[in-house]
Amino acid sequence: MSETKRKSYTDFNVELLEKEKQKKQVKKPNRYQVILINDDYTPQEFVVYVLAIVFRKSMEESRQIMWKAHTEGSAVCGVYSLDIARTKVEDVHRLADDAGHPLQCQLAKEE
């Protein structure tokens, strides 16, 4: 006689879970740009300092971002998940407020 192997309840559940995993595509989280806005009152040295501290940029990168914001009106400081981007914007605003400067950043969803 030939024996047919019956699937156990556990094997059946594992098979279903594997099929579900194959159907679901993992969606990447949305990314957000943190954009530095130029103003005519915040000293350039302070902007470079903030970029180096908050965004962990080198002094040269910080100067380049500051200069782009100064000449073009705005510049992207970095691209992050929403929570991290919000925290970076809050850190910039807190440092600027503590120093008495009107420096501003904003979020923009990356496309």
Cβ atoms of 66 and 44 within 8 Å: the answer is: yes
For residue 69, what are the domain limits?
32-109
Give me the residues of the chain with pLDDT under 70, please. 1-24
C-alpha angle 101-76-40 in degrees, rounded to nearest 5: 30
Torsion angle (degrees, nearest 10) of CA 33, 39, 43, 45: 20
Which CATH number belongs to the domain containing residue 97 in this structure? 3.30.1390.10
Looking at residue 105, its pLDDT comes to 95
6 occurs within a structural domain: no
Looking at residue 26, its pLDDT comes to 73
85 occurs within a structural domain: yes
| Structural domain count of the chain | 1
96 occurs within a structural domain: yes
Structure-block tokens of residue 16? 């279903």
Q: Is the pTM of this model over 0.95?
A: no
79 occurs within a structural domain: yes
10 occurs within a structural domain: no
Looking at residue 106, its pLDDT comes to 96
Looking at residue 5, its pLDDT comes to 56
2 occurs within a structural domain: no
